[in-house]
A and B are shown apart, each in its own frame.
Chain A
Amino acid sequence: AQKITQTQPGMFVQEKEAVTLDCTYDTSDQSYGLFWYKQPSSGEMIFLIYQGSYDEQNATEGRYSLNFQKARKSANLVISASQLGDSAMYFCAMREGGYNNNDMRFGAGTRLTVKP
Chain B
Amino acid sequence: GAGVSQSPRYKVAKRGQDVALRCDPISGHVSLFWYQQALGQGPEFLTYFQNEAQLDKSGLPSDRFFAERPEGSVSTLKIQRTQQEDSAVYLCASSYYGVESNQPQHFGDGTRLSIL
Contact = CB atoms under 8 A, between A and B. Distances in A.
Interface string A61-93: 000000000000000000000000000000101
A31 B43 CA distance: 22
B2 interface: no
B42 A43 contact: no
B43 A91 contact: yes
How many chain A residues sit at the interface, stated as a range, is 20 to 34
B101 interface: yes
Given A42-B109, A45-B107, 14 more contacts: A35-B104, A43-B89, A43-B110, A44-B109, A45-B91, A50-B102, A50-B104, A91-B42, A97-B101, A102-B31, A103-B56, A103-B59, A105-B45, A108-B40
Q: Which 3 A-B pairs have the closest CB atoms?
A: A106-B42, A45-B107, A33-B101
